[in-house]
Amino acid sequence: MYPISVGVVVETKDLWEELMSAVQTLPIRVVFELPEIPSDWTEFEDRIERVRPDVILLEVTRLSGRLEEVVKRIRSTAGEPAVFALHTSAHSDSILAALRAGASEYLFPPVADPLKAALDRLAESREKSREKLVRGGKTIGFLSAKGGCGATTVACHVAADLARQDAGKILLADLDLQTGLIGFLLKTKSAYSIADAVNNLQRLDHSYWQGLVSNGIPNLEIITAPSAPAAKKISAAHLKQVVAFVRTHYDWCVLDLGRNLTPDTMGMMDLIDETYLVTTQEVPALHHTKQIIQLLLEAGHPRAQLRLVLNRTAKRSDVTVEELESMLGVPVYVTLVNDFEGLHEAFSEGRLLDSSTSLGQDFARLAGRIAGVPEPKKKKFSLFG
């Protein structure tokens, strides 16, 4: 479920205790708790404007004032929060009155399951609305066919080149929970990781997220994988919620998905616009590549969203690109030259490969192609300039 922020206005003790028990099991963030609506409506409206809850859980059992007017005033504040009416019991007249007044839901004990279902519906609606607000927002994932194929290296350079090419605000996220290396390779300074976001969904908003990411390259923010063994064991469902949250805050989210396909990776594919499968010309890597392509297509991943990246290509090879495409069943999106020594030197110094090198230029062209930036046409040679 997409992280939802909630304001609570509940007076009845038993209802409040039951509601708090249900809330603790849900990935939501409670931004305020009140026993009743303050007599000073201006103060109450200012509070709503300040914390911007997605929904207010409002007890209507002993509500003072006309429900229709109360809901209207709440809904007219910035953010237009939804209102879920709570009552100690189910009365058909009360239900009808609440819905007519503009409440999105009517809940009564036991509230746990109906509340979760109502929040799921609201989360889906809010996510769609927020996605529309993100201009050109796109999420791309880099996946290694097997260990050592270079997906992390490609993801790092593509993210940096997207930032350099002024493609907007970029996020580079290390979702390789087992062997994540982005923090090490790029010498990030933040002490926090994606695990901190997963474990604090109730607090997750823009300001909290900004405290987790690392900044070093203009327009590029980085969130690393956890280094502590205990932090690596995080819920796949909660990780997906974090990705759903951050993808609405960036023009480009570049995800390092690690090696091979895992259940966690498969569960996240519906949030990824394009998958870049990074492989090499080595036989074991090609074998894994064919298996992954088959699994992705069988799981319903659109073929048009699958991009094959052939890394560390040799100048001479027994197998041509055309033969590889025929064998794997998908076209090669891009080939990248081999520059092991250059990468080794760059990473040893805590920097990315220089863009003037052949591989650096390949990375820049790949980023430009991903962002839809046309390559400059080569000038024809002329004796007259």
Question: Which pLDDT tens digit goes with each residue over 268-317?
Answer: 898 999 999 999 999 999 999 999 999 999 988 899 999 999 999 987 77
Alpha helices in 33-138 (DSSP H): 41-51, 67-75, 92-101, 112-133
pLDDT in tens, 322-375: 999 999 999 999 999 999 999 999 988 888 999 899 999 999 999 999 998 766
**pLDDT of 165-181, one tens digit each?**
988 899 999 999 888 89
Under 8 Å between Cβ of 261 and 220: no
Q: Which fold has domain 4-132?
A: Rossmann fold (3.40.50)
Point out which residues pair with 224 in neighbouring strands: 193
Residue 343 identity: L
CA atoms within 13 A on the CB side of 5: 17
The pLDDT tens digits of the residues spanning 55-113 come to 999 999 988 778 989 998 998 887 789 999 999 998 888 899 888 889 999 999 999 99
Mean pLDDT of 137-150: 94
The reply to whether the predicted model has a pTM over 0.75 is no
CA–CA gap between residue 50 and residue 79 (Å, rounded): 10
Q: Say if residue 134's pLDDT is above 60.
A: no
H/E element, 182 = helix 182-185
Whether the domain at 4-132 and the domain at 134-371 fall into the same CATH topology: yes
Strands (E), the chain: 4-9, 28-34, 55-59, 82-86, 105-107, 138-144, 170-174, 214-217, 220-223, 252-259, 274-279, 306-313, 332-337
How far apart, in whole angstroms, are the C-alpha atoms of residue 183 and residue 383?
A: 50
Question: pLDDT value at position 203?
Answer: 78
Q: How many other C-beta atoms can be found within 10 angstroms of the C-beta atom of residue 339? A: 17
Question: Phi/psi at 381 (nearest 5 deg)?
Answer: -70, 135
248 pLDDT exceeds 80?
yes
Q: Where are the domains of the chain?
A: 4-132, 134-371
Structure tokens at 350: 């805590």
Domain range 134-371, CATH architecture: 3-Layer(aba) Sandwich (3.40)
Per-position DSSP letters for 108-160, written without gaps between them: -SS-HHHHHHHHHHHHHHHHHHHHHHSTT-EEEEEEESSTTS-HHHHHHHHHH
| E strand or H helix that includes residue 321 | helix 321-328
Separation between Cα atoms, residue 10 and residue 63, nearest integer Å: 10
**Is pLDDT of 376 > 80?**
no
Residue-wise pLDDT tens digits, 218-227:
899 999 999 8
